[in-house]
Amino acid sequence: MDNHLYTVAQLRAIETAAYTGLPAGTLMRRAGEAAARYALELLGDRRDKPVLVLAGPGNNGGDALEAAARLADAGVDATVLFQPGQREISEEAQSAHERARAGTVGFIDMLPPDGDWGLVVDGLFGIGLARPIEGDYREMVDAVNAMRCPVLALDVPSGLDADTGAVVGPGGVAVRASHTITFLGDKPGLHTLDGRDHAGQVRVEMLGVDPAQLPAPVARRGGAELFGHLLAARRHNSHKGSYGDVAIVGGAHGMLGAPLLAARGALHAGAGRVFVAMLDAGPGYDSVQPELMLRQADGFDFTGRTLVIGPGMGDSATAMRLLARALDGDSPLLIDADAINLIGASPDLLARLAGRAAPSVLTPHPLEGARLLGMTTSVIQADRLEAAREMALRTRATVILKGSGSIVARPDGEMVINPTGNAGLATAGSGDVLAGICGALLAQGWPAWEAALGAAWIHGAAADLLVAHGIGPIGMTAGELPAAARAVLNLLVAEVSTPSGPPRS
Ligand SMILES: NC(=O)C1=CN([C@@H]2O[C@H](COP(=O)(O)OP(=O)(O)OC[C@H]3O[C@@H](n4cnc5c(N)ncnc54)[C@H](O)[C@@H]3O)[C@@H](O)[C@H]2O)[C@@H](O)CC1
Ligand SMILES: [K+]
């Protein structure tokens, strides 16, 4: 499946299985051919421009040498900077080296200061990277990152951990590619944490391996097809009661904006009625969104309502009491922000959450996730997939671990990396809007898993839509997201409602 993501350990097993029965060097040859094809595609009508190929000490370097030979065969002026290191290179890489030397490929020992390249091919390190990039290799990476031309990374941008998306450190560097062609299977590290910034656009090349032979993936890449079966056109004969009630519970003194943003998110994602149950006395109504019904949290009846609890809620005794009541009830629950912190600090609340039968979704950012697991943020970020899986396991809830490439995880270990969104979401209040959108989908009867997948995807796509219209990423505000999310949702519904078929990812 093209949305499957594999760990390095799995890829090594796939590679070993794939090699059985194939003449030596076949996979490297196929990788080099595919890379050269992609390079030619990226060059387009600039094929007269020289291409710089960086080849490192392992088989990633072998792929690069193969690609260089193919590019030269196609008439491209290909120049290789080959840095083999101390160890002997593999036989396959050696053959690729000989092939490149036999043709018209040019070889250089150091980068010229004034190179005017049409494309750089990064074949320094792939999944065999074992430590931070230093010395000459580091200089090469720094030089490539200072160039303005497109950069095609082979398998993985050199310096990036293919499992986690972290730049391998301490003090490491990684190539910032505009495009990555990745072999045998896609990798989670290309899609989360630093991965999106370094990998650019990712193409998967199976090298002739039958997808049916592949193992179960560690995670999948998100797409609208994962929740598309729940998108439905609205019936004419329906009313506000048909689309559920959402109540946002939060808004302690001085923090009233957060629940209002969540409420606007819920309203624009189609909830029938949206209440804001404030801990603070607060305003009587929201003048920007007078459709919202503002109430006092104390004494507010949770029955029959989907609850979004936590935005701006604080950590008072009242907040704790409301959270305990929500956890003990049977309303679908979206737990965000301060409510996550309270659960992280209380084994009793955690036990209540884990014991719930009704749908529960948690939306921690890395710091809230760290509090929940009793770890530091850097430990969470060092392996976001593992952290999200652990949170889902401990809470028995569906978890959206936010950040670049949000991870959606559920207690049985199923995980999806959300592909939408951009840096514009790194702004105060965007998480509140996500919570509101997810609450609205729960209120419309979506199961927790699909509601989480849908909310993460729609929220990110809303930000992408805003950027496409010049609104962000710089200066995008959370208050602009709800209307954009509404547009995305209606587009998705229109796509499934037309005869042309299911939504595209
Ligand atoms: N074996 C196969 O079946 C295939 C492998 N392929 C390519 O081979 C790559 C994996 O090859 P390798 O396992 O040789 O790994 P790499 O090519 O990623 O590099 C490993 C080599 O680099 C050295 N090294 C690791 N970190 C270093 C650092 N920071 N500084 C200096 N040297 C360092 C290691 O000692 C080793 O010699 C894949 O990413 C892919 O590009 C493809 O050709 C497809 C098929
Ligand atoms: K690489």
- Probe target for ligand 1 pocket from 121, 125, 156, with the most ligand atoms within 8 Å of CB: 125
CB-CB neighbours of 108 under 10 Å: 12
382 vs 166: CA distance, rounded Å: 7
- Probe target for ligand 1 pocket from 82, 127, 190, with the most ligand atoms within 8 Å of CB: 127
Question: What is the 122 CA–ligand 2 centroid distance (Å)?
Answer: 5
Question: What is the 121 CA–ligand 2 centroid distance (Å)?
Answer: 8
Strands 179-183 and 333-335: unpaired
Q: Is 129 annotated as a binding residue?
A: yes
Q: Does the pLDDT value for residue 69 go beyond 80?
A: yes
Confidence of residue 386 (pLDDT cuts 50, 70, 90): very high
> For residue 137, how far is the Cα from the chain centroid?
28
- Probe target for ligand 1 pocket from 60, 124, 173, 206, with the most ligand atoms within 8 Å of CB: 60
For the chain, percent of residues with pLDDT exceeding 90: 90
Name residues whose C-beta falls within 8 Å of residue 188's C-beta, 6 or more positions apart in sequence.
Answer: 5, 7, 162, 163, 164, 165, 195, 218, 219, 385, 417
Atom of ligand 1 nearest to the CA of 89: 37
The binding-site residues of ligand 1, defined as CB within 6 angstroms of any ligand atom, are 15, 19, 27-28, 31, 56-61, 63, 85, 87, 125-133, 137, 154-155, 183
At residue 499, the pLDDT reads 60
Please name the residue whose Cα sits nearest to atom 43 of ligand 1: 28
Q: Is 45 annotated as a binding residue?
A: no
Q: Does the pLDDT value for residue 8 go beyond 70?
A: yes
Joined tokens for residue 409? 């995880």
At residue 168, the pLDDT reads 97
Please name the residue whose Cα sits nearest to atom 15 of ligand 1: 128
Contact between 471 and 449 (Cβ < 8 Å):
no
Average pLDDT over residues 348-362: 98
Average pLDDT over residues 377-405: 98
468 vs 473: CA distance, rounded Å: 9
Q: Which ligand is nearest to the CA of 160?
A: 2
- 459 CB-contact burial (10 Å; exposed 0-12 / middle 13-18 / buried 19+): buried
Question: What is the 129 CA–ligand 1 centroid distance (Å)?
Answer: 6
Which residues are registered as beta bridge partners of 108? Answer: 81
E strand or H helix at 175: none
Q: Given phi > 0 = left and psi -120 to 50 = alpha, else beta, which region is 407?
A: beta
At residue 263, the pLDDT reads 98
- Nearest to 147, CA basis, from 234, 265, 49: 49
Rg (C-alpha) for the chain, rounded Å, is 25
Atom of ligand 1 nearest to the CA of 61: 17
Question: What is the 59 CA–ligand 2 centroid distance (Å)?
Answer: 10
The residue whose two tokens read 């998705």 is 492
Name residues whose C-beta falls within 8 Å of residue 491's C-beta, 6 or more positions apart in sequence.
Answer: none
CB-CB neighbours of 234 under 10 Å: 12
Average pLDDT over residues 435-463: 98
- Tell me the pTM: 0.96
Average pLDDT over residues 115-141: 97
At residue 500, the pLDDT reads 56
- Nearest to 343, CA basis, from 331, 358, 357, 355: 355
pLDDT in tens, 210-263: 888 889 999 999 999 999 999 998 888 888 888 999 999 999 999 999 999 999
Strand order from edge to edge, sheet including 398-401? 4-5, 219-221, 415-417, 407-409, 398-401, 360-362, 333-335, 306-309, 245-250, 273-278, 293-296
What length does the chain have? 505
Average pLDDT over residues 340-362: 98
Question: What is the 185 CA–ligand 1 centroid distance (Å)?
Answer: 16
Average pLDDT over residues 378-406: 98
Question: What is the 406 CA–ligand 2 centroid distance (Å)?
Answer: 24
Q: What is the DSSP letter of 376?
A: -
Average pLDDT over residues 287-305: 95
Please name the residue whose Cα sits nearest to atom 21 of ligand 1: 58
Atom of ligand 1 nearest to the CA of 63: 43
At residue 282, the pLDDT reads 81
Q: Does the pLDDT value for residue 505 go beyond 60?
A: no
Sign of the CA dihedral with 176 first, then 179, 182, and 186 last: positive
Q: Which ligand is nearest to the CA of 95?
A: 1
For the chain, percent of residues with pLDDT exceeding 70: 98
Q: Which domains does the chain have, with CATH numbers?
A: 4-221 (3.40.50.10260), 235-497 (3.40.1190.20)
Atom of ligand 1 nearest to the CA of 158: 18
Indicate the range of 73-82, 325-334, 493-502 predicted with least confidence. 493-502
- 357 CB-contact burial (10 Å; exposed 0-12 / middle 13-18 / buried 19+): exposed
Confidence of residue 503 (pLDDT cuts 50, 70, 90): low
E strand or H helix at 302: none
Please name the residue whose Cα sits nearest to atom 24 of ligand 1: 129
Q: Is 258 annotated as a binding residue?
A: yes
Q: Does the pLDDT value for residue 2 go beyond 90?
A: no
Q: Which ligand is nearest to the CA of 85?
A: 1
Q: Is 130 annotated as a binding residue?
A: yes
Question: What is the 154 CA–ligand 2 centroid distance (Å)?
Answer: 4
Contact between 302 and 329 (Cβ < 8 Å):
yes
Indicate the range of 30-34, 111-115, 181-185, 256-260 predicted with least confidence. 111-115
At residue 468, the pLDDT reads 98
Name residues whose C-beta falls within 8 Å of residue 71's C-beta, 6 or more positions apart in sequence.
Answer: 36, 39, 40, 51, 53, 78, 105
Tell me which amino acid residue 17 is: A
Q: Does the pLDDT value for residue 407 go beyond 80?
A: yes
Q: ipTM exceeding 0.95?
A: yes
- 138 CB-contact burial (10 Å; exposed 0-12 / middle 13-18 / buried 19+): middle
pLDDT in tens, 366-377: 999 999 999 999
Please name the residue whose Cα sits nearest to atom 2 of ligand 1: 15
Q: Is 61 annotated as a binding residue?
A: yes
**Mean per-residue pLDDT over the chain, rounded:** 95
At residue 502, the pLDDT reads 52
2 vs 306: CA distance, rounded Å: 35
